[in-house]
């Protein structure tokens, strides 16, 4: 092997080692499941983007003028928020509490069966999902599930994967400066607002299971019966048809999902019984 080949091989090994070390240091633990998740985007930068995009969505959307339904979303949301903060505190993540400035809004759009939670606790529920939730307990399933995605930093994982695959591993701040529209679209896709850009990055099976698991713990702490998650997903499955709505993250929730939820319920029930 000549010197040039040795040099190139050595350089590739060094670069691969450096890249691996960056990925390892960019991982953080998901509460409850203890899984290590990739987080390349600093929380401060995500929060700034979140607040900007949330204000933009609210300005461009029609908020529901149905006072009772809108107030129900806010009431359930606030109870879930308190429970989520209890969950974070009990998980040793009290330092994260300062990142949340909770807000809950109902957007008037009967064709959109969706809900999402941006970093910092910015939550939107679309009227199209209300026939599936049916009552406050069903609504708590949805909101707690979306809040769980935020607590587990699933959106950051999807953003990080997108930066690696689509933008060559650029830092978020550099990508936003050099390719603002592409980076903004990546953010919107990562956090479930894919209808705005024509595509939605699907949550993985693992992310969905984690959000179901954490969401059950949160809704139980908020005083909502975790068994309601089973009936909610049964309704979603029954009505999804051949083209599942956005809330199913581009793939229908299979029977195994409901089976998984049933295994989590006994863990959640003590919190439900202790809830005020």
The catalytic residue positions are: 146
What would the two tokens of residue 257 be? 């999902």
Pairing status of strand 103-107 against strand 115-118: unpaired
3-state helix, strand, coil in the chain (%, to 5): 65, 10, 25
What would the two tokens of residue 17 be? 């080692």
Pairing status of strand 103-107 against strand 122-126: parallel
Nearest to 62 by CA among 130, 124, 17, 13: 124
Q: How many CB atoms lie within 10 A of CB 249?
A: 22
CA dihedral 251, 256, 257, 263 (to 10 degrees): -170
Q: How far apart are CA 86 and CA 44, in angstroms?
A: 22
Check residue 243 and report its DSSP letter. Answer: S
């Amino acid at each position: 092997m000549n010197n040039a080949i040795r040099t190139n091989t050595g350089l590739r090994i060094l670069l691969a080692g450096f890249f691996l070390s960056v990925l390892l240091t960019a991982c953080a633990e998901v509460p409850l499941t203890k899984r290590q998740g990739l987080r390349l985007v600093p929380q401060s930068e995500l929060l700034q983007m979140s607040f900007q995009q949330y204000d933009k969505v609210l300005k461009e959307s029609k908020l529901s003028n149905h006072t009772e339904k809108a107030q129900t979303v806010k009431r359930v949301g606030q109870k879930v928020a308190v429970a989520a903060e209890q969950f974070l505190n009990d998980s040793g993540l009290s330092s994260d509490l300062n990142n949340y400035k909770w807000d809950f809004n109902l957007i008037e759009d009967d064709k959109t069966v969706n809900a999402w939670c941006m970093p910092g606790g910015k939550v939107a529920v679309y009227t199209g999902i209300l026939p599936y939730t049916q009552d406050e307990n069903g609504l708590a399933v949805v909101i707690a599930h979306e809040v769980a995605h935020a607590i587990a930093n699933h959106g950051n994982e999807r953003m990080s994967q997108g930066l690696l695959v689509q933008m060559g591993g650029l830092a978020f701040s550099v990508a936003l400066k050099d390719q603002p529209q592409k980076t903004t679209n990546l953010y919107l896709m990562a956090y479930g607002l894919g209808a705005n850009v024509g595509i939605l990055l699907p949550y993985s099976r693992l992310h969905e299971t984690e959000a179901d698991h954490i969401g059950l713990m949160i809704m139980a702490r908020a005083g909502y019966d975790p068994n309601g998650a089973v009936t909610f997903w049964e309704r979603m499955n029954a009505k999804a048809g051949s083209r599942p709505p956005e809330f199913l993250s581009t793939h229908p929730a299979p029977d195994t999902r409901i089976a998984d939820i049933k295994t989590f319920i006994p863990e959640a029930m003590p919190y439900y019984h202790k809830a005020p």
